[in-house]
Amino acid sequence: MRVNTSEVKSISSPTLSTTAAWWRRLQARLTRLLDDARFFPLLLILPVLLFFLIWNVIPTLWLIGLSFYKYSLISSAAERYVGLRNFTDIMKDVRVWESLSRTFIWVSVSITIQTILGGMLGFLFWGSAKMPGRRIALTLLFTPMIITPLAAGVFFRFIYEPTFGIANYVVRLFGGEANFLGDAKLAFGAVMFVDIWMWTPFMILITLAALGSVPKAELEAAEIDRLPWSYRLRYIILPHARYVLMLGILLRTIDSFKTLDLIYILTRGGPGATTELIAVMLRRKAFEAFELGWSSALAIILLLTAIAFTSIYIYILNQNSKRQGVTS
């Protein structure tokens, strides 16, 4: 890194240099080295590899190592090698399975709602090019997804607050009483509502992008032919929009699978364990129960799941770019 920046300076201002001859020779040698077609790419990629090594390879190896040990931060007992025991313990743990199925419900329901709602609203916003104040309106619309989940959590703590919150105020108008985050029956839905509020705008954005990728000429042809909308959707819009939509849904799935911040601030997994998704459980086990060996084993399982999802994502991405490469 340092070599690079100093080189830039000296190259950009060669006339100003009043350096000694040896320095110039060193510089020449460095430049020659930089112009070496084998060395230069290596130099470019070195910083990233260094980062990758220190902040990814080491922690990952550490994680794998830990997963074979019984290791707790609070007990004074030394860590003990237990082989694959942590993994078999996780497999047998009912709470893990409950949490996983809860996560599965969370992901599938919230993504379905976000996709349908976002898709419909995206359609609605298609053709809003001449809308007055479009830029402001879109900024307002997209605000939920770019503020920190912590802030979103804070908003809804405020809105769901049983005594002075506006949600319960509305419920009271209809003669009811609801403690959205404290009631075991309501909490899951209430938290999911926040997630839907946050991420539907993302699906709107994706839908708009997907619709933008449909060729104008084909749409105009359909308009002239007075093709029914159901046909336009099926034969013109979907074939083109499919890839971007799929990428969006997959990205949301991966993201939703690891929801943590939002729940941490809203309910911390409670009441009971009704909102304890897998990432929340992992955090609790690691940093409240301090069972690091067990948590590492669970983390490895999640890691592999995430990598599997990512490879599907990249596969679709490649298919998409190949297809675009052919058409354009």
Binding to other proteins in span 33-72, by CB under 8 A: 34-35, 40-41, 43-45, 47-48, 51-52, 54-56, 58-60, 62-63, 66
Q: Distance (Å, rounded) from C-alpha 180 to C-alpha 186?
A: 5
Interacting residues with other proteins between 294 and 323 (CB under 8 A): 295-296, 298-300, 302-303, 306-307, 309-311, 313-314, 317
Largest CA distance in the chain: 89
Cβ-based nearer residue to other proteins, 231 or 318: 318
User: Which of 253, 304, 325 minimizes the C-alpha distance to 64?
Assistant: 304
Phi, psi at 96, each rounded to 5° = -65, -45
Interacting residues with other proteins between 232 and 271 (CB under 8 A): 244, 247-248, 251, 254, 257-258, 260-261, 264-265
Cα–Cα distance list, 210 to 203, 205, 206, 207 (Å)? 10, 9, 6, 5
Rounded to a whole number of angstroms, the minimum distance from the CB of residue 232 to other proteins is 19
Q: Distance (Å, rounded) from C-alpha 113 to C-alpha 111?
A: 5
CA 278, 283, 288: angle at the middle one, nearest 5?
A: 130
Rounded to a whole number of angstroms, the minimum distance from the CB of residue 88 to other proteins is 19
What is the size of the binding site for other proteins (CB under 8 A)?
Answer: 110
- The dihedral built from the CA positions of residue 223, 224, 230 and 233, taken in this order, carries a sign that is negative
Rounded to a whole number of angstroms, the minimum distance from the CB of residue 169 to other proteins is 5
String of contacts with other proteins for each residue 153-172, x by CB under 8 A = xxxxxxx---xxxx--x--x
Cβ-based nearer residue to other proteins, 231 or 242: 242
CA 86, 80, 62: angle at the middle one, nearest 5?
A: 70
Rounded to a whole number of angstroms, the minimum distance from the CB of residue 255 to other proteins is 8
Cβ-based nearer residue to other proteins, 231 or 308: 308
User: Which of 254, 277, 264 minimizes the C-alpha distance to 105?
Assistant: 277
Rounded to a whole number of angstroms, the minimum distance from the CB of residue 215 to other proteins is 13
Rounded to a whole number of angstroms, the minimum distance from the CB of residue 237 to other proteins is 16
String of contacts with other proteins for each residue 90-129, x by CB under 8 A = -------------------------------x--xx--x-
User: Which of 208, 193, 196, 212 minimizes the C-alpha distance to 137?
Assistant: 208
User: For other proteins, which residue of 100, 109, 219, 286 counts as binding (CB under 8 A)?
Assistant: 286
- The dihedral built from the CA positions of residue 205, 207, 208 and 212, taken in this order, carries a sign that is positive
Where b means 16+ CB within 10 Å and e means fewer, 28-62 reads: eeeeeeeeeeeeeeeeeeeeeeeeeeeeeeeeeee
Cβ-based nearer residue to other proteins, 169 or 231: 169
Tokens found for residue 170: 């509305």
- The dihedral built from the CA positions of residue 159, 161, 165 and 169, taken in this order, carries a sign that is positive
Cβ-based nearer residue to other proteins, 81 or 231: 81
Stretch touching other proteins by CB under 8 A, among 7-15, 93-101, 223-231, 232-240: 7-15
Tell whether residue 79 is a contact of other proteins (CB under 8 A): no
Interacting residues with other proteins between 123 and 152 (CB under 8 A): 124-125, 128, 130-133, 135-152
